[in-house]
């Protein structure tokens, strides 16, 4: 879930990248989307984590959502450019 920003690094997989990004209309929809999102991000690894997703989603929802903040974070990542020169690996 991180990158150097190097344009030569392969882009993200289409499935997570193409999510519509629209905020959930209610708690139930949020919990379903949370599970779907993390299933894709886990890419088949750690299937035992799926059972924990509903509880995690409930805690995230209860803490509060900030869709505008997510958008700002994404724009910051995209605008930051390459960090390749600072990488030692």
Confidence of residue 18 (pLDDT cuts 50, 70, 90): very low
**C-alpha 42 chain-centroid distance:** 11
What average pLDDT does range 29-54 have in this prediction? Answer: 90
| pTM score | 0.62
Report the mean per-residue pLDDT for the chain.
Answer: 80
**What local confidence, expressed as pLDDT, does residue 26 receive?**
92
Provide the residue count of the chain: 89
- Comparing 52 with 47, the larger pLDDT belongs to 52
Instruction: Check if the beta carbon of residue 30 is closer than 8 Å to that of residue 61.
Output: yes
Percent of the chain with pLDDT over 90: 28
Angle ∠(73,30,69) on CA atoms, nearest 5: 15
What average pLDDT does range 1-20 have in this prediction? Answer: 65
């Amino acid at each position: 879930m991180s990158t150097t920003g190097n344009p030569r690094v392969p882009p993200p997989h289409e499935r997570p990248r193409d999510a519509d990004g629209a905020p959930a209309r209610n708690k139930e929809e949020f919990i379903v989307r949370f599970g779907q999102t993390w299933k894709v991000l886990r890419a088949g690894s750690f299937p035992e984590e799926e059972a924990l997703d509903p509880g995690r989603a409930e805690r995230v929802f209860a803490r509060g959502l900030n869709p505008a903040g997510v958008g700002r974070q994404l724009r910051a990542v995209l605008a930051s450019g390459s960090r390749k020169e600072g990488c030692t690996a």
